[in-house]
């Protein structure tokens, strides 16, 4: 479909100049009367209390880390502790106007945010709600520990619950908010709107965008804040996140009722350092971080610099920006000026800054300053503040003693496989919401469905001969059918990436979906592979089904962190609190040279927490995608471009019209044989079958050809059973041989099937070169001759065979020695 926006040269070639509006800096003017009226006395005093909680909590951690004991409680904490001493006002002020529907995603330095957000919720939610949240979290196991001896009723108990949940998590205990699977840098407590914190600098930016997209697309209340540091302003994914958050289409193309741009706030806690790198004057060139907003959109992201040393200035800014976001006019950027006196971590001697500089900030310490504000304006007396401080210390001592005790707070029992049990949720969800899915066309009116109805479901004619490709349901048609099916069932399902919409999806896989779906369910993004995947992570962990796409496998590098650290880890790091119903479609190219033709499935196979699938037939493409799109685990779904147009030649009757799933992890025997087992991953299946034909006709060798289909999980029993029969095994895929997943497979088959093997397992992959141009590709990707020659040289000498390629041991030695 052509675009509705016309790119007019008359408009775009006009001379003129671009005007920027001034960006407000630290404009907050304190006003005791207004502040008391807005927040009420109790909340104003509680803000001070919460700042003290955070300060003392982190002082305790620092003391434990550096001296091995605090207040007579001895503990050796081996893990990290990135402290935010000095920054308390910025986080407490932030949480003041937020409810539990407002989400915070944070960083490695987020203890303060978690505590501030959770204490605010514990103080403001109805007591019955607080009780039921504590009671239901992990079956009440945390509550059972803190409720005994707790003071101050439900709210007092909730304070202890929060401190204990965070501390037990930092100490890696089963009673931690994430069962100790997250630790200091990843702790969070979703029921109060404290969402995952990220040890990857800037990692929360694109995840927050996805969470905000979830809220917008599914009309959920609240805003989403990405709490990131000034240092993260140099990170590509942060910029990508801002680009995706600021796309015009939310207002120009999306239906009005969706409500405009996703409500996301990029909140930079600007403490002027990224470890020892000084962002002001050294590592960045913006001078004032808020300037970034001016480069993003005409609203300049409503950017402002805020005095983060005054909690009320922060609260005021967050409240005003929240209103903008709820109106769909985001994104917003805040440059919250703050400072940490603590080192980057307890081992940091702060050699990169002067004592005088630290002293300048300590002189205006936020707790001291805000305490003076409270007392001088008669909101609280010094004695009241002292009493509060006493209560803080008493609670902290009690909770710390509980958290260090291995009897009260044991670690998760690792044996037999407790962490393994957390790697996948292995769930199955038809739909993530009960509302009717928003569709523009019923399936029977969809042009592609109508066109497909005229095609043969099988790739073979009645005579058993292949039909012309244009007349059969192809692999990409099969993917389309699975997508349309789930779109019409799960209202939360959304797919996005480059060229997903009007173009018809990369390689026309999605042709027909543009007509079927409103914008918010299928949209083009900026060319931001990191943010495409990162936003999908945020969308999925917020409760919706996301299908991001990478146009070429070679772009996986651009989304490296998102795939290798985010998609795969959050289910386990949250101890199952989060689910990740995300299917990342990755198209593997050919004919497009060195940077568009690589199969990097081994990289994803290496990452714990990913399910990896690689169908090679239309039947499997539909049945496996159906499986993936109903599951609750992240799946990387590889598709080989070279077989997008193949028809189904293995399953009688071809691709079923209705719904079905392929059983997870089960390889498919494509041809039975007795003399050698050939296992393929992806498109080499068809070359292996040609090789099997030649082996049979010329050499009388009967090859059993198995299509692995799955990379992880993978049930090796089918392969081992075959090897028991044949005694020989060759593995083949289009991935470069060195480091290919085939080597893991070879090692497993060798170890588990050693008794059956009478030759080593042979691996045939692509050459360890760059992929040459299309005309030379046959010298790079495995061909049927390579398979036959490798069998001859390394597995089973074939009488009278003269190899046409060198697959022998000497050549393997030579290649490895040269590194090619
Ligand atoms: C992608 C990435 N690069 C580097 C690091 C190592 N690292 C941890 S924190 C940090 C500094 C981050 O600075 P900033 O974003 O300003 O946050 P702050 O530490 O000041 O809170 C660095 C470089 C990391 N964790 N992730
Ligand atoms: Mg910083």
Minimum-distance ligand 1 atom for the alpha carbon of 232? 15
Judged by phi (left if over 0) then psi (alpha if -120 to 50, else beta), residue 350 lies in left
Return the C-alpha torsion angle 125, 126, 131, 137, nearest 10. Answer: -40
State whether the beta carbon of 32 lies less than 6 angstroms from ligand 1.
no
Residue with the smallest CA separation from ligand 1 atom 4 is 201
Out of 84, 198, 275, give the residue to mutate to test ligand 1, the one with the largest number of ligand atoms within 8 Å of its CB: 275
- The Cα–Cα gap between 613 and 713 comes to 9
CA 368 to ligand 2 center in whole angstroms: 22
Residue 504 has pLDDT above 80, yes or no: no
State whether the beta carbon of 91 lies less than 6 angstroms from ligand 1.
no
Residue 346 has a pLDDT of 86
- Sequential DSSP letters for 566-591: IITTHHHHTTTSS---BEEEEEE--S
Minimum-distance ligand 1 atom for the alpha carbon of 228? 15
Q: pLDDT per residue over 357-396, tens digit each? A: 999 999 999 999 999 999 999 999 999 999 999 999 999 9
Minimum-distance ligand 1 atom for the alpha carbon of 230? 16
CA 200 to ligand 1 center in whole angstroms: 7
State whether the beta carbon of 530 lies less than 6 angstroms from ligand 1.
no
Minimum-distance ligand 1 atom for the alpha carbon of 269? 21
Q: pLDDT per residue over 751-810, tens digit each? A: 999 999 999 999 999 999 999 999 999 999 999 999 999 999 999 999 999 999 999 999
Which ligand is located closest to the Cα atom of residue 202? 1
| Mean pLDDT calculated for residue range 239-249 | 98
Out of 88, 112, 198, 231, give the residue to mutate to test ligand 1, the one with the largest number of ligand atoms within 8 Å of its CB: 231
Out of 91, 108, 109, 286, give the residue to mutate to test ligand 1, the one with the largest number of ligand atoms within 8 Å of its CB: 108
Residue 385 has a pLDDT of 98
Residue 694 has pLDDT above 90, yes or no: yes
- Structure tokens belonging to residue 606: 């290496």
State whether the beta carbon of 113 lies less than 6 angstroms from ligand 1.
no
Residue 3 has a pLDDT of 79
Catalytic residue (one of 108, 344, 485, 596): 596
Residue 801 has a pLDDT of 98
* Strand ranges for 215-288 from DSSP E: 224-229, 264-270, 273-274, 277-278
- The Cα–Cα gap between 432 and 541 comes to 12
Residue with the smallest CA separation from ligand 1 atom 6 is 201
State whether the beta carbon of 109 lies less than 6 angstroms from ligand 1.
yes
CA distances from 713 to 557, 608, 609, 610 (A): 23, 11, 10, 9
Which ligand is located closest to the Cα atom of residue 108? 1
What is the pLDDT confidence band of residue 5, given thresholds at 50, 70 and 90? confident
Beta bridge partners of 582: 546
CA 171 to ligand 2 center in whole angstroms: 24
What is the pLDDT confidence band of residue 277, given thresholds at 50, 70 and 90? very high
- Residue 87 has, within 13 A of its CA and on its CB side, a CA count of 31
Residue 11: CB atoms within 10 A of its CB come to: 8
Which ligand is located closest to the Cα atom of residue 274? 1
Residue 349 has a pLDDT of 86
Minimum-distance ligand 1 atom for the alpha carbon of 202? 15
State whether the beta carbon of 271 lies less than 6 angstroms from ligand 1.
yes
State whether the beta carbon of 199 lies less than 6 angstroms from ligand 1.
yes
- Structure tokens belonging to residue 448: 């592609």
- Sequential DSSP letters for 690-734: HHHHHHHHHH---EEEEE--EEES--THHHHHHHHHHS-EEEEEE
The whole-chain average pLDDT of the chain stands at: 97
Name every residue whose Cβ is closer than 8 Å to that of residue 576 and which is 6 or more positions away in sequence.
Answer: 422, 425
Residue with the smallest CA separation from ligand 1 atom 17 is 229
Out of 201, 336, 338, 569, give the residue to mutate to test ligand 1, the one with the largest number of ligand atoms within 8 Å of its CB: 201
Is 294 or 2 the better-scoring residue by pLDDT?
A: 294
- The Cα–Cα gap between 270 and 284 comes to 12
Nearest to 173 by CA among 142, 130, 197, 131: 142
Residue 1 has pLDDT above 80, yes or no: no
Residue 506 has a pLDDT of 78
Residue 2 has a pLDDT of 75
Question: Has 186 been annotated as catalytic?
Answer: no
Return the C-alpha torsion angle 594, 595, 598, 604, nearest 10. Answer: 150
State whether the beta carbon of 343 lies less than 6 angstroms from ligand 1.
no
Residue 502 has a pLDDT of 86
Q: How far apart are the first and last CA of the chain?
A: 46
Q: pLDDT per residue over 394-429, tens digit each? A: 999 999 999 999 999 999 999 999 999 999 999 999
Q: Report whether 118 contacts 189 (CB < 8 A).
A: yes
| Mean pLDDT calculated for residue range 475-491 | 98
Name the pTM for this structure: 0.98
Q: pLDDT per residue over 56-96, tens digit each? A: 999 999 999 999 999 999 999 999 999 999 999 999 999 99
pLDDT above 70 covers a percentage of the chain that reads 100
State whether the beta carbon of 229 lies less than 6 angstroms from ligand 1.
yes
Q: What is the DSSP letter of 467?
A: P
Q: pLDDT per residue over 87-146, tens digit each? A: 999 999 999 999 999 999 999 999 999 999 999 999 999 999 999 999 999 999 999 999
Q: Report whether 379 contacts 116 (CB < 8 A).
A: no
Residue with the smallest CA separation from ligand 1 atom 25 is 200
Residue 559 has a pLDDT of 98
State whether the beta carbon of 565 lies less than 6 angstroms from ligand 1.
no
CA 231 to ligand 1 center in whole angstroms: 6
What is the pLDDT confidence band of residue 675, given thresholds at 50, 70 and 90? very high
CA distances from 684 to 500, 623, 635, 672, 705 (A): 27, 20, 21, 17, 11
- The Cα–Cα gap between 742 and 748 comes to 10
Q: Is the dihedral of CA 251, 254, 257, 263 positive or negative?
A: negative
CA 219 to ligand 1 center in whole angstroms: 34
Helix axes 111-124, 88-95, angle to 10 degrees: 40
Residue 358 has a pLDDT of 96
State whether the beta carbon of 579 lies less than 6 angstroms from ligand 1.
no
Q: Report whether 311 contacts 44 (CB < 8 A).
A: no
- The Cα–Cα gap between 309 and 315 comes to 11
Residue with the smallest CA separation from ligand 1 atom 19 is 274
Residue 78 has a pLDDT of 96
CA 243 to ligand 1 center in whole angstroms: 21
Out of 185, 233, 271, 274, give the residue to mutate to test ligand 1, the one with the largest number of ligand atoms within 8 Å of its CB: 274
CA 668 to ligand 2 center in whole angstroms: 52
What is the pLDDT confidence band of residue 505, given thresholds at 50, 70 and 90? confident
Residue 347 has a pLDDT of 86
Residue with the smallest CA separation from ligand 1 atom 12 is 274
State whether the beta carbon of 108 lies less than 6 angstroms from ligand 1.
yes
CA 291 to ligand 1 center in whole angstroms: 21
Q: pLDDT per residue over 604-655, tens digit each? A: 999 999 999 999 999 999 999 999 999 999 999 999 999 999 999 999 999 9
Residue 450 has a pLDDT of 97
State whether the beta carbon of 273 lies less than 6 angstroms from ligand 1.
yes
- The Cα–Cα gap between 399 and 147 comes to 11
Nearest to 50 by CA among 163, 170, 176, 143: 163
């Amino acid at each position: 479909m052509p675009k509705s926006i016309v790119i007019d040269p008359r408009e775009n070639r006009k001379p003129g100049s671009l005007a920027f509006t001034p960006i407000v800096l630290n404009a907050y003017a304190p006003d005791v009367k207004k502040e008391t009226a807005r927040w009420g006395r109790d909340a104003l005093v509680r803000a001070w209390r919460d700042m003290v909680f955070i300060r003392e909590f982190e002082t305790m951690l620092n003391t434990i880390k550096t001296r091995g004991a605090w207040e007579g409680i001895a503990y050796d904490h081996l893990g990290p502790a990135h402290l935010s001493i000095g920054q308390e006002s910025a986080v407490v002020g932030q949480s003041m106007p937020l409810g539990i529907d407002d989400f915070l995603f944070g960083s490695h330095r987020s203890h303060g945010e978690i505590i501030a957000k959770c204490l605010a919720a514990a103080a403001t939610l109805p007591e019955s709600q607080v009780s039921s949240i504590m009671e239901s979290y992990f079956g009440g196991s945390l509550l059972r520990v803190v409720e005994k001896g707790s003071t101050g009723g439900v709210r007092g108990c909730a304070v202890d619950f929060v401190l204990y949940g965070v501390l037990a998590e930092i100490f890696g205990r089963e009673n931690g908010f994430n069962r100790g699977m997250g630790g200091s840098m990843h702790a969070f407590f979703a029921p109060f709107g404290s969402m995952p914190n990220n040890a990857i600098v800037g990692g929360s930016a694109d995840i927050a965008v996805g969470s905000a997209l979830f809220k917008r697309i599914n009309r959920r209340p609240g805003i989403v804040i990405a709490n990131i540091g000034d240092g993260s302003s140099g990170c590509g994914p942060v910029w990508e996140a801002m680009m995706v958050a600021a796309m015009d289409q939310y207002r120009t193309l999306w239906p009005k009722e969706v409500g405009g741009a996703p409500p996301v706030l990029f909140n930079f806690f600007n403490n002027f350092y990224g470890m020892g790198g000084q962002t002001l004057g050294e590592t960045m060139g913006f001078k004032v971080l808020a300037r970034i907003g001016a480069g993003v959109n005409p609203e300049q992201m409503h950017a402002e610099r805020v005095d983060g040393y005054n909690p009320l200035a922060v609260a005021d800014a967050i409240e005003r920006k929240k209103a903008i976001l709820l109106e769909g006019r985001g994104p917003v950027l805040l440059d919250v000026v703050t400072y940490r006196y603590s080192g980057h971590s307890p081992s940091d001697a702060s050699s990169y800054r002067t004592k005088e500089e630290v002293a300048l900030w300590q002189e205006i310490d936020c707790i001291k300053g805000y305490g003076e504000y409270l007392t001088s304006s008669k909101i609280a007396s010094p004695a009241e503040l002292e009493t509060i401080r006493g209560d803080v210390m008493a609670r902290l001592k009690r909770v710390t003693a509980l958290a260090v005790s291995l009897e009260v707070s044991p670690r998760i029992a690792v044996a037999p496989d407790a962490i393994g049990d957390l790697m996948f949720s292995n769930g199955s969800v038809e739909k993530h919401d009960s509302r009717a899915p928003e569709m523009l066309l019923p399936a029977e009116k969809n042009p592609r469905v109508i066109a497909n109805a005229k095609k043969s479901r099988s790739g073979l004619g009645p005579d058993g001969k292949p039909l012309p490709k244009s007349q059969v349901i192809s692999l990409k048609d099969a993917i389309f059918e699975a997508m349309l099916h789930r779109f019409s069932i799960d209202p939360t399902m959304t797919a996005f990436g480059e060229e997903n919409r009007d173009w018809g999806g990369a390689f026309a896989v999605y042709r027909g979906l543009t007509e079927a779906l409103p914008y918010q369910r299928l949209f083009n993004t900026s060319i931001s592979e990191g943010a495409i995947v990162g936003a999908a992570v945020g969308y999925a962990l917020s409760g919706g089904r996301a299908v991001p796409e990478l146009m070429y496998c070679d772009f996986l590098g651009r989304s490296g962190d998102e795939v290798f650290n985010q998609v795969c880890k959050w289910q386990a790091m949250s101890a199952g609190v989060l689910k990740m119903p995300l299917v990342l479609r990755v198209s593997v190219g050919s004919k497009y040279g060195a940077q568009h033709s690589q199969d990097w499935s081994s990289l994803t196979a290496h990452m714990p927490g990913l399910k990896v699938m690689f169908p090679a037939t239309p039947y499997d493409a539909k049945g496996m995608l159906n499986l993936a799109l109903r599951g609750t685990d992240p799946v990387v779904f590889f598709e080989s471009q070279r077989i997008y147009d193949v028809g189904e030649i293995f399953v009688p009757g071809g691709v079923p019209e209705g719904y079905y799933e392929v059983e997870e992890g089960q390889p498919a025997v494509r041809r039975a044989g007795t003399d050698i087992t050939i296992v393929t991953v992806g498109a080499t299946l068809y070359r292996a079958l040609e090789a099997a034909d030649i082996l049979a006709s010329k050499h009388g060798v009967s090859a059993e050809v198995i299509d692995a289909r799955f990379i992880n999980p993978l049930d090796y029993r089918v392969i081992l059973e075959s090897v028991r029969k044949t005694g020989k095994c060759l593995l083949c895929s289009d991935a470069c041989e060195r480091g290919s997943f085939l080597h893991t497979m070879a090692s497993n088959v060798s170890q588990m099937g050693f008794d059956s093997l009478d030759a080593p397992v042979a691996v045939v992959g692509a050459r360890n070169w760059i992929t040459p141009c299309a005309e030379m590709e046959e010298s790079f990707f495995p061909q049927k001759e390579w398979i036959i020659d490798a069998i001859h040289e390394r597995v089973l000498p074939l009488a009278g065979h003269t190899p046409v390629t060198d697959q022998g041991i000497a050549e393997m030695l030579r290649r490895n020695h040269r590194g090619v």
